[in-house]
Every structure is written in C-alpha cells, then in structure tokens.
Structure 1
Amino acid sequence: MRVYKALLLLPLAVPGWAGSLNRPVWGKRQLPNDPTGVKTITTPNNVTIRYKEPGSEGVCETTPGVKSYSGYVDLSPTSHTFFWFFEARHDPENAPITLWLNGGPGSDSLIGLFEELGPCHVNSSFESYLNPHSWNEVSNLLFLSQPLGVGFSYSDTENGSLNPVTGVVENATFDGVKGRYPKIDATLTDTTELAAYATWEVLQGFLGGLPQLDSRIKSKDFSLWTESYGGHYGPAFFNYFHEQNERIANGTVDGIHLDFNSLGIINGIIDEAIQASYYPEFAVNNSYGIKAVNETVYNYMKFANTMPNGCQDQVALCKQTNRTSLGDYAICTEATNMCRDNVEGPYYAIGERGVYDIRHPYNDPTPPSWYNNYLEKDSVLNAIGVNINYTQSNDDVYYAFQQTGDFVWPNFIEDLEEILRLPVRVSLIYGDADYICNWFGGEAVSLAVNYTHTSKFRASGYIPLTVDGVEYGETREYGNFSFTRVYQAGHEVPYYQPIASLQLFNRTLFGWDIAEGATQIWPGYSTNGTARATHTESYVPLPTASPSARVL
C-alpha cells in the first residue's frame, strides 16, 4: 500500500511532509529502442502474446536449464499487459503456478520480483545476481504489471519527458528526462472489482498460450500471492476467479479452469473499519518499545477514529451505499480522506519513523530500488522485449482508485470469508515492524473473519514459526487458515526474512503445517499455544536518516 498524499487537518499539518515523502528518485532515462528478436504466438482464445527469453540473454534468471519468458499479453489494440514468467528451478513440469501481484494501487509487481521473492536481485552497481531464496525454488512464478499504466503495461504510449517532481509526462519542450511512457485512461480500471475482471482476461490469455510458450508446464495448480493493497486484490480477485470457474463448469462462459491451491496475503490492508483502530496503537504500543508519536497525537488519532462523523462513522456510511454511482463514490472517498488523513496520517506528519519499517528513519529507503536503474539499461529492455520506460508506481492509477473510495470498501473481508469455505489454503503473513499495514490490524482481521471454523481458529493459539531450528515468528493455524507474525520484518517480508518467507510459501503450497513444516495438515489440524502473540524486541534507537525516500 502506498502512502496517501492528501494533507492532514491543519493543526497537525507539517509543511512539505507529503511532497518530501513521495519525491521520486529517477535514474538515467532515454528513448528506448524497439526490441529485436521478439516472437509472437496467437492463442486458441485469439489472444496475441509477444515474448522473449531474457535468461538466454543473461538477464535475471540464469540458473542452467531454467527458462523464463517476458513480454506482452495483447488483449486488444488498446490493452497490452506486461508479464514475466519463470519456470520452477526444480521439476517445472509438475510444479504449481503462482501469480504474484504487488499493491499500491498502481504499484508494479516487479517490486516483488526484484526486491523480494523473484529469481534475481539487483546490486548497487545495477547488475543482477541470483536469489537463492527465490520462490521459483518450489513453484513456477508469473508476475503481471497491472492495471494498465503500471510497470511496462500500457494502452498506448507517448514520447516526452517525465517531470521528476510532478510525475507528469510533459511534451518534448520540457527540459527534463526524455523517454517513452504509457498513456492510459485510469478511470477505466479504478476499482479493485474492475481490476479483477481485467486480470482474469489477461490470465486466461496467458494460460491459453502457455502450452505454446512453454510446453514443459503441465500443472494447472494455481495460487495467488500478493502484498499490501493486495489485501484488497487477493480476496476480490480470488473470489471472482472462483465465480468464473463456476461459470466455466456450467457452460456459461468459455475459459480455462483454475485448480485453486492457495491465497497468500503479506502485510495486507483488508478491512479499514477493523484495521484503522490499530494505527494509533501500533504507533505507541508496538513490540519494539518505540513511541513514534506523543500522547497528544496518539489521543487525537484515536479520537478521529471514533468521534461522530469520524473514520468509523464514515466507513459505515460507505458500507451502506451500493458503490455504483458517483454519489456513492464521493461518500466512500470522504471516508478514505477522513481515515487516512486523521487516523493513519499523523504518524507521517509528526513521527520520525519509517512508514514501512518503524525501526528505520522516515526517509530511509529500504529495501533499495536499484532495479529501477537496471530496467533502464538498453540491454535489459531489449532482453525483456519492451520499448517504453519503466513506471514503478503510477499516480494516475492511484488517484483513480482514491476517487472511487475503493480503499475503504467493506467487501474484501467478505470475499475472504467466501474463500475460506473452499478447499483452499489461506495464509496471512505480517512483518511486525511495518506501520502502514501493521500486524496488529492484520491479526484483528484474522480474528474477525466469519466462516465455518471461526471459533476454532480463535481458540487455536500461537506457536513458534521455526526453520531449521531458528525461530522467525509466531503462527496461529486451524485447518486451511493461518495467521503468522514474522519477527524483525518490515512491509516487504521476503526482503527482511527470505529464509522464513520461502518456507511459509512452500509449506502453504504443499500442505504442511505453517509453524514447523513437519505435519501434513488435515481439516481439523490446529496449533495449540498461547492466546496472544507476546514476543517483544529490544528498543531500536533512531538511526541517521538517508537523504532519499520511496513509495511502494
């Protein structure tokens, strides 16, 4: 989830806080050349896929014998979605397929690829190197840049210069950085629901062409893993995919049936009504002993949440709408503004601590986004089959979602409840140092989910999450549902704890208990431990801040 850029109420405002947080840091840009050697296939469902094999040109996944493909799923002349597919490093023929999506909204899934769980990372010299803890150790991985306008995906393109302050593409007379950028109408996909529809079509196009693209892949086993605003994407997308599966089964629509395995959500914002209350609590009562705001600000945040016409009241009003008209959108947008400005936002204005890691200073950009520079190299752009500049996070997309109030829509926990009635594993994973999607709120969501085994899940306790005898966190699990708090991890858990993250992923996909990976679970499996996650860490003093900032 990205930091909201609106101003707080005047008494709490600190001049320039929003701008300083989101000031982009751009590498060298140029007008990309058209890639050479691009191959094209037409799928049985009449979708065009343009692709290259980056690994054969030394880009990213260079493990011998492991293939990768990147390029575009062209649904129409105005819909070109970038994909990057990696075979599993072991037994790709039978390994499951996992779709990874980052959040934002408007943030690209290549963040997850390069900074977290993908086959390669990028160093300070802007060179890639293999990630030994990549999730393609156990699964085929598909990364999609969505919606259009994000990453390398586009509806149309335009040449110009990107204003590094506003993020707006200027005409060629602007004395800035020359390049080619996506041109979109962001209002065409301005809700999670619409993004689910679009992603289904892209996924169907990709899977329709997969036998031609990579004939080795035989498994239809499908998982969706996501992060941050993925707390919206994950439940809504998965539930819509399930509905489409049912339509395929009864002959209502044509398509490729997905054999569901799991849904994983890392530090997700799932339900604002539940999670808003935990922003002030995490700011001062976190497990690191950090008091990020003073008592006055803490009390204001709590008051803004519960006061008449405050956050909770306005979210309740949003819930009463059908969320189909401009008037409905306005009500939900007002709720978004109220909650994010006054309950979540004072931490950003007053505190000096990190948004994505409370142990870090406010301006500390971890993990580093060196991959942005990597994706500006001519050789890399050619290898992955693109001719436009990279957009890590698209503000047009972000604000389009903001203007519908999608952030506070209440249906995502309901989607999660529907999914838990299916034979699908659901893993909620939260790094315990993240503020913006903190584990206090994530735990509260897990306990609030209303499904068949709610009481049994609540009654199960926390036991240590261990890998090779090392304790990395605490897990509560009953049957197909688990909540895990990961120690000493910020927003992007796989970056901070790669060993534990790979095992959390592996254990979820292959039916092992989450905490130890020693037992094949069954419907009545339950952890038996403490009712609360009580682990604490030593106080972390504020280090010296670095001079740059970033967004997710």
Structure 2
Amino acid sequence: MKLLSILFIFVSSYSFCLAAPATDKVNDLPGLTFTPDFFHYSGYLRAWTDKYLHYWLTESSRAPTQDPLVLWLNGGPGCSSLDGLIEELGPFHVKDFGNSIYYNEYAWNKFANVLFLESPAGVGYSYSTNFNLTVSDDEVSLHNYMALLDFLSKFPEYKGRDFWITGESYAGVYIPTLAVRILNDKKNFPNFKGVAIGNGALNFPNNYNTMVPFYYYHALVRDDLYNDIARNCCNNNIGTCDIYSKFFDPNCRDKVINALDGTNELNMYNLYDVCYYNPTTNLKKAFIERQMRIAVGLPARKHNAATTVPLCAQTNNTHVYLNRADVRKSLHIPSSLPAWEECSDQVGKNYVVTHFNVIPEFQTMIAAGIKILVYNGDVDTACNSIMNQQFLTSLNLTVLGEQEKVNEAWHYSGQTGTAVAGFQTKFAGNVDFLTVRGSGHFVPEDKPKESQQMIFNFINNKDYSTPIQL
C-alpha cells in the first residue's frame, strides 16, 4: 500500500510537470476584492530568437480541462491585449484609481480558457532583446504563431483542444494572417475552429471611403459640404468613390478633412459616448486615432481642454494598476523592463503595413471551412460597420435566409427580458456578420452582456439569440 501511495504521488507530480508551468501561476494578484474560482498564469512566450511576448491566461471557471482555448488580440497596431483583459472581456476589472480589482460577471472565461497575448514585441510588457521594434504584418503573424507553439510546449494540455482566435480593430489584420499559418499546421492545431473579428480593419482604404457617408447619415456633415465632395471629387457618386485617394488630391483634401472633422468634439469610437479623451496621450483611443491620421498624412489632433476633458472618471486605471511594483511582481514581469503603456508609439512609428485588405486570407479561411464571425458596434466611426459589410459583399458569398430582409435582428436575453441586440446577415461558407446596437469600437466594453452571449453562441454553434446556459 505504501509503495502504491508513493507511486501515485510520483505519477501525479509528473503529470503536473507536463501541465501548466507553476512558475507562471499568479498566486496573489494585488487589489483583488473577490476569490477567483479559476487559475490564471502570466509569463513569456518566445516568438523569435530575440522576441518575447507577454501572455496572461485566464482559465475557464466552468470546465478548464474541457472548454476551448480562445486567443484574444488587440490591435493598434501597437496596443496591448491587456486592455482587452482589464477593460473589456477579462474577469479582472480595475477601479478605485488602480487600487482594487472587481469581478467582471460578463467575462468570456466563464466558458472558455482565454489567452491574452501582447503583440508585437515592444507592446505592453513584451520586449525584444535587441531593441529593434520595426515589424511588418507578416512578421507579426509569424511571431504570434511561434509564440503559440511555445504556449503549447508550456501548456501541453491544450494541444488538440478546440481553438478560436478573436480580437478587434487592427487585429482584423493580425487574425486572418495568423489563421492562415494555423490552418497550415494541422499537427499542432488539429481543432482550429474559427475566428471572430470585432470592428476589424479588414479593408483599410475602404474604411476612409465609407467614413464620409457614415458621418453624413449620422448628421455630422452639412449638405453643402457633402454635395461639394460628391460633385467635385466623386463624380456625383460618393457610394463608389475612392475617398482614400482624395487625401492626396490637393483639390479635395481640405474638403474631406473638413467632413471628417465632424467628430472633433465627439468620441470617434462611439458617437454617443459621453467619455471624451485627450488625443495627445498613449491611451488606446488617442493612439489609434493618431495612427489613422498618420496614414493619410494628417498631424495629430491637438488637445482642446474645453471639449476633451474626460466626463467619466479614472480613464487611466489600467495604466496605473499595471505599473504598480507589486502587480508587476505578481505577474512575473522583469523589473528591468520599462513602464507598461496601453499603446507603444515606438511600435506604431516603426510598423510596416503590408495587408491593406485581407481578402486572400478570408478566401483561404472560407475554403478551409472554419467558422468566421465579423461583428461591428454600429456607432463606431474608427472602423465602421459599412466598411465591413462591403468587405464581405466583395467576397461574392451567397446570402442565406430570407432574401427580402435587409438584415435580421438578433436578441439579447437576460433577467430583465429580451431586447434587440443588433442585426445579422449569414453567408454561405460559415461566415456571419453581426452588428451590435448602440456599441462603439470596443464591443465587449460597451455592450458586455450582448458580446458575451454573442461569442458563447458563436463558439457553441447556437443561434445568436439563444440565452446563455452555463
């Protein structure tokens, strides 16, 4: 009996060594106001000989040994996925000026093991040993892929698990380019099921082409200016106009800029949000706006204290919390690394865009038969819903369902009843397009209940209106 007990202890210890790395386990996250019913891990994954990407894994609180693995990527390019964890879909949300963490009841790790990856090197806690932060779209997809292979070596229990890639904004490029690499590696990812892209930059030039009509039909542009652009820059047809090119046309540049200045006193990520932001900071909203302006040769918008003073308190909670020395220690972050930033100007300035649209990658994913969800908050002007509807239309996929309906409503069902959550279009090829009503660019932040139900039903192959049953 004693021999059997010793053998059992040995086998158990050996099995543990083959599972999650104990050195990366987070045991004492400062500021917690609740006791997590799940394990979580923070550490580094080797993405290249000189690139190390920080990850934070929040295991499922339901069935961690059975539930799928979901990767989350924020965009930028150059913004940290820890924003997604702390401000959007993760279980840990920060309050009290970075002093305490409360539980997000709409966290996605209620039904999935969610891996947050800070990518590329130079973003957040991720780093490069040679300090070279110049990187391209294809290099990012390669580094993310290599980091995932390292993750599977650290967490072999996830090898063969159902796997999904999700994210938002410029992850509209990160995700499809990574998905193609994953599809070519059936050995390590035999159960790659699909992707979900929120407010993605799927066709960068067309984002600008659709912004002017989007602004006009949200009453941000006067008739005379809109008609002036249509008549003198677009041959009286803004619907098919290459407005992106007009930024470089001296006869039209000022007209287009005047139209897009319609959000100068608004939050361009959510037209109806009352939380303004200082466009000169490195917080994600200001950073992404600067990147968009740089792309068409516009200077950064200046801070106007009269209109951009935040009306919602504690906008820098995440930044304060993640730069606490005790938090960094708990997350196993080397003290030699610089302060954590939501977005990296150095990465943004050195980033090389090579995929201005991701049609080839979508065609590869569709041919492979994996599930694809494109969703958009419908009052986001940074990556607007018209752009992504037109992107999917350009794929020439057959629309499924009742053809006479422009879009079909989907509903959120909660304790207070059922309400329209947005609208949906289903295409042949396992492709779905959803809008999220009243949401801006960051859907899990603006509409946490609806986004949780949407993702749960997507990965469980259920109708989007089905109430969550855990």
Contact 1:50 1:73 in 2 (8 A): no
Query: Which of 184, 189, 212 lines up with 1:257 in the alignment?
Result: 189
User: 1:343-390 CA deviation, whole Å, 9 max, x = no partner?
Assistant: 578524774222101124653557934111011111111100112320
CA distance, structure 1, for counterparts of residue 120 and residue 252 of structure 2: 25
Change (3 A) 1:357 1:314: closer
CA distance, structure 2, for counterparts of residue 259 and residue 61 of structure 1: 36
The yes-or-no answer on 1:491 pairing with 2:441 is yes
User: 1:70: Cα distance to partner?
Assistant: 0.1
Equivalent residues, number: 403
User: 1:402-429 CA deviation, whole Å, 9 max, x = no partner?
Assistant: xx4436x23x022112212223211111
CA distance, structure 2, for counterparts of residue 445 and residue 458 of structure 1: 21
Instruction: Map 1:212-223 onto structure 2 (within 5 A).
Output: 220-223=161-164
CA distance, structure 1, for counterparts of residue 251 and residue 84 of structure 2: 30
The aligned counterpart of 1:281 is 213
Whichever residue aligns with residue 227 of structure 1, its letter is E
SS in 2 for 1:142: strand
CA distance, structure 2, for counterparts of residue 198 and residue 108 of structure 1: 15
Change (3 A) 1:506 1:350: closer
CA distance, structure 2, for counterparts of residue 336 and residue 433 of structure 1: 28
Instruction: Map 1:45-444 onto structure 2 (within 5 A).
Output: 51-58=23-30, 63-75=35-47, 78-126=50-98, 127-156=100-129, 184-187=131-134, 189=135, 191-211=136-156, 220-245=161-186, 248=187, 256-286=188-218, 291-299=219-227, 306=234, 346-348=259-261, 351-360=264-273, 363=277, 368-386=315-333, 387=335, 388=337, 389-401=339-351, 404-406=352-354, 409-410=356-357, 412-444=358-390
Contact 1:54 1:60 in 2 (8 A): no
Instruction: Map 1:512-523 onto structure 2 (within 5 A).
Output: 512-516=462-466
User: 1:306-335 CA deviation, whole Å, 9 max, x = no partner?
Assistant: 58xx9976989xxxxxxxxxxxxxxxxx98
Contact 1:463 1:476 in 2 (8 A): yes
SS in 2 for 1:186: coil
| TM-score of the two chains, using structure 1 as the length reference | 0.65
SS in 2 for 1:511: coil
The aligned counterpart of 1:454 is 398
* Unaligned stretches of 5+ residues in structure 1: 1-42, 157-182, 249-255, 317-333, 519-552
Q: Percent identity?
A: 25
CA distance, structure 2, for counterparts of residue 231 and residue 303 of structure 1: 33
CA distance, structure 2, for counterparts of residue 434 and residue 483 of structure 1: 16
Change (3 A) 1:446 1:501: same
CA distance, structure 2, for counterparts of residue 304 and residue 371 of structure 1: 46
Contact 2:182 2:192 in 1 (8 A): no
The aligned counterpart of 2:285 is none
Change (3 A) 1:396 1:218: closer
Instruction: Please identify, of 385-394 and 192-201, the stretch whose mean Cα deviation from structure 2 is larger.
Output: 385-394
User: 1:512: Cα distance to partner?
Assistant: 0.6
Change (3 A) 1:227 1:75: closer
Contact 2:46 2:146 in 1 (8 A): no
SS in 2 for 1:421: helix
SS in 1 for 2:155: helix
User: 1:58: Cα distance to partner?
Assistant: 4.8
Contact 2:124 2:342 in 1 (8 A): yes
| CA RMSD, 1 decimal | 3.5
* Unaligned stretches of 5+ residues in structure 2: 1-16, 278-307
CA distance, structure 1, for counterparts of residue 431 and residue 179 of structure 2: 15
User: 1:184: Cα distance to partner?
Assistant: 2.6
Contact 2:399 2:425 in 1 (8 A): no
User: 1:206-232 CA deviation, whole Å, 9 max, x = no partner?
Assistant: 111103xxx5x5751110001011111
Change (3 A) 1:279 1:53: same
CA distance, structure 2, for counterparts of residue 109 and residue 382 of structure 1: 19
The aligned counterpart of 1:501 is 451
CA distance, structure 2, for counterparts of residue 342 and residue 120 of structure 1: 44
User: 1:260: Cα distance to partner?
Assistant: 1.2
SS in 1 for 2:151: helix
Change (3 A) 1:341 1:147: farther
User: 1:77: Cα distance to partner?
Assistant: 6.0
SS in 2 for 1:420: helix
The yes-or-no answer on 1:473 pairing with 2:422 is yes
Contact 1:432 1:488 in 2 (8 A): yes
Contact 1:63 1:89 in 2 (8 A): no
The aligned counterpart of 1:23 is none
CA distance, structure 2, for counterparts of residue 65 and residue 283 of structure 1: 45
CA distance, structure 1, for counterparts of residue 251 and residue 440 of structure 2: 26
SS in 1 for 2:215: helix
Whichever residue aligns with residue 470 of structure 1, its letter is A
CA distance, structure 1, for counterparts of residue 254 and residue 117 of structure 2: 31
User: 1:244: Cα distance to partner?
Assistant: 3.5
Change (3 A) 1:424 1:335: farther
Contact 1:99 1:223 in 2 (8 A): yes
CA distance, structure 2, for counterparts of residue 75 and residue 376 of structure 1: 24
User: 1:131: Cα distance to partner?
Assistant: 0.4
Instruction: Please identify, of 430-439 and 468-477, the stretch whose mean Cα deviation from structure 2 is larger.
Output: 468-477
SS in 2 for 1:129: strand
CA distance, structure 1, for counterparts of residue 83 and residue 64 of structure 2: 23
Whichever residue aligns with residue 38 of structure 2, its letter is V
Contact 2:398 2:427 in 1 (8 A): no
